[in-house]
Structure 1
Amino acid sequence: MSFAVLTAFWAVSLLLVLTPGADWAYAISAGLRGRRLVLPAVIGLACGALLATGAVAAGVGALVAQNPALLTALTATGALYLAWMGIGLWRSPAAISHASDAEPQARWRWTVKGASVSGLNPKQLLLLLALLPQFVRPDDSWPVSAQIMALGALHAASCAVVYFGVGWGSQRVLRTRPSAALLVSRISGALMLGIATLLLVELALH
């Protein structure tokens, strides 16, 4: 793959990653829970992006896009999962914690949840399905599936860098502001609920 193609894709991918959404909310909530939870959460989010990319490379993305029933099931599952997380974050807001002794099991759970938040996001799957083929060159020496995975890995790397900054920054900036941390935590929960509601409303209208 050419450097120009990778650079062009990276620029578009970065703009999308910089747009706040459920992934941002999850990274912020991890940061508020403790520093040592940020990296596991971000790894989970990046793995979710890779899983979505793998689905596109395997043709699953096209199948889902063409099959209304599968798309509906995926969207509903993702929306309900986001709603469940949003309600939990709203009812039990994250308090600032240094969490230097976070248990490995707790960190592992944040990784799994992060992969679910990102991987079950139907908007991300359809976005990658629409975006990736524009940067694939059938006449390239790399197989098409390998090109898609390389671009997806670049997208996941962008996710990891940005979301780590978001999660770590939430800990650094809000550490001495408990009231602000509480507000941001509730906003993150409300954002997850809002996205879930929009997805479910979209399903109902269609």
Structure 2
Amino acid sequence: MAAGSIAAFWGVALVLISTPGADWAFTLGAGLRGGSVLPAVGGLVLGYVLITAVVAAGVGALVASTPAVLAGLTVLGGAYLVWHGVVTCARPAVPATAADGPAGTDWNTLLKGIGVSGLNPKGLLLFLALLPQFTDPAASWPLAGQIGVLGMAFVVTCAVFYTGMGLLARIVLRARPAAARALGRVSGAAMVVLGGTLLAERLIA
């Protein structure tokens, strides 16, 4: 697998990571609750590590080669994004106050993060449908290893991007509740648009 393929995949991954969605909403919420954002980011990262392992085991190629399964996952993912987006728009994350009580344990936040990234349609579609296209079956090293390298490039980028976002939310947005609500609604609206686009592409086609 050429270095150019890794760079091309990283570019696609960075665009998707930078697009508001479920990971954004979860990270912003963790930052606005105060405390460390590392459990939230760690959960998101672990979820994507698990997806990488599943795809490297051969499930990604199987799903990508079965149009009906891929279409079904796309519809379910689109519906999930629309639902999550509507909920986020209606109840955007706001800075926590003393009256809100404890935000929950780091362990609970970690587990929620795994669930958020593990069920994130953006991540699932990237790993199942796009990632295998950047591998080289004729390369001298195993396909599973190539998928692992690409997956880790995505995971490291996620860790850096969402840690920065969480810290920004904690430092800057906690003092600006109106801005926090606005950013939360932007994230929700982006999820609705992306989910609606996925549904339209599959249901109209």
The corresponding residue for 1:16 is 13
Following superposition, the deviation at residue 155 of structure 1 comes to: 2.1
User: What amino acid sits opposite 2:56 in the alignment?
Assistant: A
- Over 3 Å counting, the alpha-carbon distance change for 1:10 and 1:40 in structure 2 is farther
The 1:26–1:187 alpha-carbon spacing in structure 2 relative to 1, beyond 3 Å, is same
Q: Which residue is equivalent to 2:180? A: 181
Q: How far off is 1:128 after superposition?
A: 1.5
Q: Go from structure 1 to structure 2 and tell me whether the alpha carbon gap of 1:129 and 1:51 turns closer, same or farther (over 3 Å shift).
A: farther
Name the amino acid aligned to 1:20: T
Alignment length, in residue pairs?
198
2:133 maps to 130
2:43·2:114 contact (CA, 8 Å) conserved in 1? Answer: yes
TM-score, normalising length: structure 2:
0.79
Report the Cα distance in structure 1 between the residues aligned to 2:49 and 2:120, rounded to whole angstroms: 9
Which 5+ residue runs of structure 2 have no aligned equivalent?
Answer: none
Matched residue, 1:90 = 89
Work out whether 1:102 is the aligned partner of 2:99. Answer: no
- The answer for the alignment partner of 2:193 in structure 1 is 194
Quote the Cα distance in structure 2 between the aligned partners of 1:74 and 1:188.
22
Using the TM superposition, give the Cα deviation of residue 169 of structure 1 relative to its aligned residue in structure 2, in angstroms: 1.1
Q: RMSD across aligned C-alpha pairs, in angstroms?
A: 3.0
Partner of 1:115: 117
- Rounded Cα–Cα distance in structure 2 between residues aligned with 1:11 and 1:101: 43
**Residues 173 and 166 (structure 1 numbering): CA distance in 2 closer, same or farther, change over 3 Å?**
same
CA drift of 1:129 comes to 2.0
In the alignment, residue 114 of structure 2 is paired with which amino acid? V
**Deviation by residue 1:145-169 (Cα, 9 ceiling, x = unmatched):** 1332133123211111111111221
Equivalent residue for 1:161?
A: 160
Give the 3-state SS of the residue equivalent to 1:50 in structure 2.
helix
Q: Distance in 2 between matches of 1:137 and 1:41?
A: 38
Report if aligned partners of 1:49, 1:118 keep a CA contact under 8 Å in 2: no
Question: Is residue 34–residue 97 contact of structure 1 (8 Å, CA) maintained in 2?
Answer: yes
Which digits, 9 at most, give the CA deviation of each residue in 1:18-54, with x for residues without a partner?
5323233442343234444x32332232233223322
1:53-68 equivalences in 2 (<5 Å)? 53-68=52-67
* SS of residue matched to 2:175: coil
Are residues 137 and 42 of structure 1, via their aligned partners in 2, closer, same or farther at CA, if it must alter by over 3 Å?
farther
Please tell me whether the aligned partners of residues 45 and 114 of structure 1 are also in contact (alpha carbons under 8 angstroms).
yes
- Corresponding residue number in structure 1 for 2:30: 30
Structure 1 stretches lacking a partner, 5+ long: none
Q: From the superposition, tell whether residues 87 and 106 of structure 1 become closer, same or farther in structure 2 (CA, over 3 Å).
A: farther
- How far the C-alpha of 1:101 sits from its partner, in A, is 4.2
Aligned-residue offset at 1:71:
0.6
